[in-house]
Amino acid sequence: MKRVYILTAILVLFCALPAWAVTPTGELYGSISYDWDRDEKTGELTSFRTGFRVAVEDELDKLGKLHFSTKGWLDWKLKDASIAVDQVWLKGYSGDFDYQIGRQLISWGTADGFNPTNYFARLSSSSLFSGELSGDPVWAGRVEYYAPAWSATGVLIPVFAPQEIDELMEQMLLGADPQGALVLQAIKDTKKPGLGNPEVALRLETQLAGFDLQASYFWGYEPLPGLEMVLDLTAQPNPKIEGTYRRQHLFGLALAGTLGQAGFWAEAAYGGPQPFAESDNPLELRIPMSINEKYFQAVVGGDYTINVGNGLLVQAQYVYRGQGALLAPYTAPKLLPDAPPQAGDIEGAHYLYGRLSYDFNPDSSAALVVLYGTKEEAGIIRPSYTHRLAQGVQLELSLLQPFGDKGGFKHIPTQARLAFKYQF
């Protein structure tokens, strides 16, 4: 029945579009995914999804530009569906000020996807492993001021939006922590900050020696809750895991420019969440499983086009995360034989990201994405081939292949995917 409702809503939307005074744009897409379990040596069709995104924009005289977009998908294999507002915002200007209000995509920083200073980003594993490296829109108000040699941006987010745990992130959390099921349940049960708990960010931007230089500050919440293991010392050992979304302060710097024929970028941020509150119960032991101090994170990268054929684009990035692993930032407590458990060591995580891209002709291209975690000694490799047909249709064939026997990456299945997209 849910499938019928979704399809009906989509049909009503498309039937209504011709009556609008503007021409809609968007895309229709579909994909088929086949997963291979390397341990069980078995495979299955895991997803058969079709979806859409439709956007309309209109100039409202002195008010500015109004944008509305909606998106939805239907998975015929999983018998699941979704339809939701994608973005809806009003954008305008007054003197030297620009403003944008509504559900919008905010992208700060200079690096490609891994942005320590993009405090609003919620990078899903599907975006990461598909190579898109894009975040999700948030409800926010944004004001920008432009001076002759610099600019300033302020962002206010009235309602906090946490990181969503998708299927691949769930698999990595289950694999990275022996108590992964309790961790996932604690994340789901953690109370989210509501109205009256806004997030605020400020950014200054200027040019320095030919480089774009940004300095920023963020006052908000952790995207995933901080977790603690709670032990009642008067009862039998039956640990619980509890979560709290903690306030955090972050200061960031970012720059981008060119060095000869190569592009170059770097980002860094420093700060962290408020420490966990001390327990008032002397017979209760609370053991942090998340970072409980300030930390540092950084990205350095660049790209260069090698003069081979039509040009081979080579991109490389180094990513450091002082708060722990990329998609599973929790650590299990240390279990001691003659003493209470203690907080585990949260070590900084190092990642190497590389991408090769080559256009055979205007209609076909190939890409190779590699992500390697030095701590996990594992990662993923994703080759893909894209062929563009007439009238805005393109096909993509890709393979997601994890490698290494440590960390959460090993729990990701091998996945072959065929996707099509029609843009209008």
Which residue from 331, 415, 409, 351 is spatially nearest to 171, judged by alpha carbons?
A: 409
What does the alpha-carbon distance between residue 91 and residue 77 come to, in Å, rounded to a whole number? 40
Which tops the pLDDT comparison, 401 or 236? 401
What contacts 88, CB < 8 A, 6 or more positions away?
67, 68, 69, 102, 103
Q: Is 12 left (phi over 0), alpha (psi -120 to 50) or beta?
A: alpha
Which residue from 189, 175, 254 is spatially nearest to 216, judged by alpha carbons?
A: 254
- Helix (H) / strand (E) element for 3: namely helix 2-16
Interval 3-9 mean pLDDT: 51
Give the rounded distance of the alpha carbon of 41 from its chain centre: 31
Residue 185 within any structural domain of the chain: yes
Interval 11-36 mean pLDDT: 76
What are 255's strand-pairing partners? 213, 266
Residue 186 within any structural domain of the chain: yes
Query: What are the tens digits of pLDDT across the range 76-112?
Result: 999 999 999 999 999 999 989 999 999 999 989 998 8
Residue 229 within any structural domain of the chain: yes
Residue 263 within any structural domain of the chain: yes
Which residue from 277, 296, 288 is spatially nearest to 186, judged by alpha carbons?
A: 288
Overall domain count for the chain: 1
Residue 110 within any structural domain of the chain: yes
Q: What percent of the chain has pLDDT over 70?
A: 89
What does the alpha-carbon distance between residue 214 and residue 148 come to, in Å, rounded to a whole number? 16
Query: What are the tens digits of pLDDT across the range 36-77?
Result: 988 778 899 999 999 999 999 999 888 899 999 999 999 999
pTM: 0.86
Which residue from 137, 136, 155, 135 is spatially nearest to 145, judged by alpha carbons?
A: 155
Which amino acid is it at 235? A
Residue 315 within any structural domain of the chain: no
What does the alpha-carbon distance between residue 319 and residue 351 come to, in Å, rounded to a whole number? 5
Residue 77 within any structural domain of the chain: no
Query: What are the tens digits of pLDDT across the range 254-282?
Result: 999 999 999 999 999 999 999 998 888 88
Whole-angstrom CA distances from 214 to 207, 208, 259, 272 are: 9, 10, 18, 20
Residue 369 within any structural domain of the chain: no
Structural domain harbouring 179: 95-296+388-400+408-423
Buried b (16+ CB within 10 A) or exposed e, 300-334: ebbbeeeeeeeeeeebebebbbbbbbbbbbbbbbe
**pLDDT above 80 for 376:** yes
Least confident of 285-289, 315-319, 395-399: 285-289
